Amino acid sequence: MISEKEVTRVAHLARLSLTEDEAKALALQLSSVLKNFDQVSKVDTQGVEPLVTPTEIEQFWRNDAAEVWESVESAMQNAPEAVGNLFKVPPVVG
Amino acid sequence: MNILTSSLKEIRDAVRNRSVSARAVTEAYFGQIEKWNGKLNAYITLNERAVDQAAEIDRRLAKNEDPGALAGVPIAIKDMLCTKGLRTTAGSRILENFIPPFSATVVERLERAGSINPGKTNQDEFAMGSSSETSAFGIGRNPWNLDYVPGGSSGGSAAAVAAGMASASIGTDTGGSIRQPASFCGVVGIKPTYGRVSRYGIVAFASSLDQAGPMTRTVEDAALVLEAISGHDKLDGTTASNPVPKWSEQIRHDLKGIKVGLPKEYFSDTLQDEIRDSVDRAIASVKSAGAEIVEISLPLTEMAVPIYYLIATSEASSNLARYDGVRYGHRADFSRHAAEDLAEFYSRTRGEGFGPEVKRRIILGTYALSSGYYDAYYKKACQVRRLLRDQFQQAFQQCQLIMSPVTASPAFKIGARISDPLQMYLNDIYTTSANLVGIPGMSVPAGFTNDGLPIGVQLLADHFQEQHLFNAGAVIEKDLALKELPNVLQ
C-alpha cells in the first residue's frame, strides 16, 4: 500500500508537482501495482550479489585529448532562455 | 516491383543497379505517408531533407561511387534517437521543440550506409507504454485495423513498415518495445544482445535494459540493418568489442542439430488459444527444418514483470532527472507566479512537461530507490535479476533457442487497457526477461487471429548468438510469412 501522503512525499523527492487528483489516482494505481510486485519478497536471495548490468562490460581506454565539437551556438540553441553563452534562469528565493 | 511492399534488400539492389532511382523510392514512400499518416499517426516529424539525401545517393551512383550497403532505402527512425537538426521529442511534451545538435551513433551509421531517413516515428512517451497511446503527439494506430493499437512503445516504427510508409525502421526495446509492436503489426523485429548496438544519442529510459534494433518486412532485412548499426562505439562504454558477423550471408534454412526450448512456465492454461496456435505453427515449422523441441524450465518467470518494472522505473527516475527546464526542453512559465525556491522551479516544469504514464513511473522508481524501500524493492529486484540470468544460462546449456509467445494476447482495442496500468504491465511477461538478462530476442510473424490481426512468435538466444535467431526466423518466415497485406496497401 502507498498512501496519497506518501505519493506526495515521493513526488517532492522527484521534483515533480502533482495535482491532488493526480496524487489520489497514483496512490490507488501504485498500491495495486506494488501489491503485485511484493511477490518478489518470496524469492530467497540471501547472499546473492545484485546484478546491475546484464553483460560483462569491458574497460576501454582512450587518450585524454580534447576534441573540437561543433559550435557553442548549436549547444545553446535549445535553451529555454539564454544570454550569450549563458543559460538564463528566473530569480528564485531560497 | 511494388516499391511499397518490396523487401529492403530488393529496393537496395534495384537502387544499386539503377533500375530505380533512390529519389523515386523516397518519393513513393512520401506519397504513401501523405496518404495515410493522418489516420495512422505513425510519424511525429517528417524529414524535409529526405529527397535531397536520396538525390545525393543517385549522384554517387552516377559517379560509380559506392553508395553503401543500404543505399537509397527509406529507414524510419523512432523519435527516441537524436537526429542532428531534426526535431526529436521522445513522444514527450517536455521535448516538444528539441532540435539535437548531434545524431545518435545508430543514425550516423545508417546515413553512412546510404539509407534515407523519412522521419521520426511515433511512440509512447519516453518509450513508457505498450500501445503508443501515451504519446504526447496523438495515439498511433494499427494499419491492419485502425481501431486497434499498433503496440508499443515502438508502435509508429512498426506501423510505418507494415503500411508501406518506410521500408524498415529503427525501434528501441527496453522491455519488449520492438518485439511487441512487431508482433501486433506483422513485421520482423529484433532486440539485439545488450552491448551490440550503441546507445549514444538515444534518449535514455533504463540504461541497463535499453537497446535499439531493426524492424523490417523480412528476416534477412533485419540482419542487413543490424549489420550496419552494430559494433563498438567509443561514445558508449557499454558497447561490446565482439566482431559483427555478416549474419545476412550466413542464414541457414536447416536447423538440424538445433534444440529449441519451450519453457513450461510460458504455456499456462490461461494462454489464449489463438496465441497458442501461432506458437504451435512455428514449432511445426522449425521441427520440419530439423530442430529438436525440448521442454525447459524457467521457474522465476512470474518474477520477470515485477523486477523489470522495479528496475526500469528506478533507472528511469534517475535518467529523467535531467529534464529540469534549464538547458533544454520545456520550462514552465514563471512570469506571473515566480517560483518560491529551486524545487518549485523544477517541479512545476516537470509537472507540466511529463504525461501521466511517465509521472507514474517516476514516482514508482523514486519510491523503489528511496531510503527505507531501497532494500525491499530496487536491491531485491537486482538480486532476483541475477537468479533469473542464472536460470537462462542453465537453459542455454540444454538448447540454443527458446521459443515463446511475444504477448499473452494479440493487439487490443484503443482505450481498452490505458486506465489499468497493472494489466498493461502484466502483458509484458514474455518480453522483459530478454532485457533483464541481456540476451537477443526476435519477433517473427506466425499468422493471424480470427479477427485478422497479425501474431508473432518470439525467439530468444544466448548472448551474441543472433545468428540462431536469423536462421530459425528465416525458417518460420518461409512457412508462415503473411500472405495478405493490410488495407492501407491495397
Size of interface A-B (CB pairs under 8 A): 181
Residue A68 in contact with partner chain B when CB distance is under 8 A: no
B384:A43 CB<8 A: yes
Min distance B182 CA to chain A CA atoms (Å): 24
Chain B residues inside the 8 Å CB shell of A6: 367
Picking from A10, A16, A80, the nearest residue to B351 by CB comes out as: A16
Coil vs helix vs strand at B203: coil
Residues B82-88 have a mean pLDDT of 97
Rounded to 5 degrees, φ, ψ at B294 are -130, 145
Cβ-contact B185, B150 below 8 angstroms:
yes
pLDDT tens string B352-370:
999 999 999 999 999 999 9
- CB burial of A20-36 (b: ≥16 within 10 Å; e: otherwise) equals eebbebbbebbeebbee
Residue A27 in contact with partner chain B when CB distance is under 8 A: no
Picking from B306, B317, B370, the nearest residue to A37 by CB comes out as: B306
Cβ-contact B148, B413 below 8 angstroms:
yes
Residue A39 in contact with partner chain B when CB distance is under 8 A: yes
* B7 among known catalytic residues: no
Picking from A13, A30, A50, the nearest residue to B364 by CB comes out as: A30
Report the Cα–Cα distance between both ends of chain B, in Å, rounded.
15
Distance between CA atoms of B276 and B45, rounded to whole angstroms?
A: 38
Residues B132-139 have a mean pLDDT of 98
- The residues facing B443 across adjacent strands are B189, B458
Min distance A57 CA to chain B CA atoms (Å): 6
Chain A residues inside the 8 Å CB shell of B301: none
Q: Which of B6, B131, B135, B177 is catalytic?
A: B177
Q: What is the pLDDT of residue B284?
A: 98
Element (H, E) at B475: helix B466-480
Return left, alpha or beta for B191; rule: phi > 0 is left, psi -120 to 50 is alpha, else beta.
beta
Predicted interface score ipTM higher than 0.90: yes
Residue A17 in contact with partner chain B when CB distance is under 8 A: yes
pLDDT tens string B428-474:
999 999 999 999 999 999 999 999 999 999 999 999 999 999 999 99
Residue A7 in contact with partner chain B when CB distance is under 8 A: yes
Min distance B110 CA to chain A CA atoms (Å): 21
A48:B241 CB<8 A: no
Residues of chain B with pLDDT > 70, as a percent, come to 100
Picking from A6, A51, A57, the nearest residue to B237 by CB comes out as: A57
Nearest CA in chain A to B88: A78
Tell me the C-alpha to C-alpha distance, in Å, between residue B60 and each of B67, B110, B112, B477.
6, 16, 13, 34
Nearest CA in chain B to A4: B363
Residue A47 in contact with partner chain B when CB distance is under 8 A: no
pLDDT tens string B310-331:
999 999 999 999 999 999 999 9
Nearest CA in chain B to A14: B366
- Reference B236, options A50, A53, A2; nearest CA is A53
* B177 among known catalytic residues: yes
pLDDT tens string B235-259:
999 999 999 999 999 999 999 999 9
Residue B1 in contact with partner chain A when CB distance is under 8 A: no
- Reference A7, options A47, A37, A41, A34; nearest CA is A34
Cβ-contact B120, B45 below 8 angstroms:
yes
B340:A17 CB<8 A: no
A13:B346 CB<8 A: no
Nearest CA in chain B to A46: B383
The grid cell for B467 is 545468428
Residues B122-131 have a mean pLDDT of 97
Say whether the peptide bond before residue B285 is cis (omega within 30 degrees of 0): no
Picking from B97, B384, B422, the nearest residue to A40 by CB comes out as: B384
Residues B384-410 have a mean pLDDT of 97
Distance between CA atoms of B376 and A45, rounded to whole angstroms?
A: 11
pLDDT-based confidence at residue A94 (cuts at 50, 70, 90): low
Q: How far is CA B289 from the centre of its chain?
A: 28
Picking from A13, A39, A50, the nearest residue to B382 by CB comes out as: A50
- Pairing mode of beta strands B259-263, B401-405: parallel
Residue A50 in contact with partner chain B when CB distance is under 8 A: yes
pTM of the predicted structure, to 2 decimals: 0.97
DSSP track, chain A: ---HHHHHHHHHHTT----HHHHHHHHHHHHHHHHHHGGGGGS--TTPPP--SSSPPPP----------S-HHHHHTT-SSEETTEE-------
Cβ-contact B88, B81 below 8 angstroms:
yes
Distance between CA atoms of B309 and A11, rounded to whole angstroms?
A: 18
pLDDT-based confidence at residue A93 (cuts at 50, 70, 90): low
Measured from the Cβ of residue B234, the count of other Cβ atoms closer than 10 Å reads 11
Burial of B231 (0-12, 13-18, 19+ CB in 10 A): middle
Residues B333-339 have a mean pLDDT of 91
Q: Which of B92, B130, B153, B433 is catalytic?
A: B153
* B78 among known catalytic residues: yes
Q: What angle do CA A20, A26, A28 make, to 5 degrees?
A: 110
Residues A53-80 have a mean pLDDT of 87
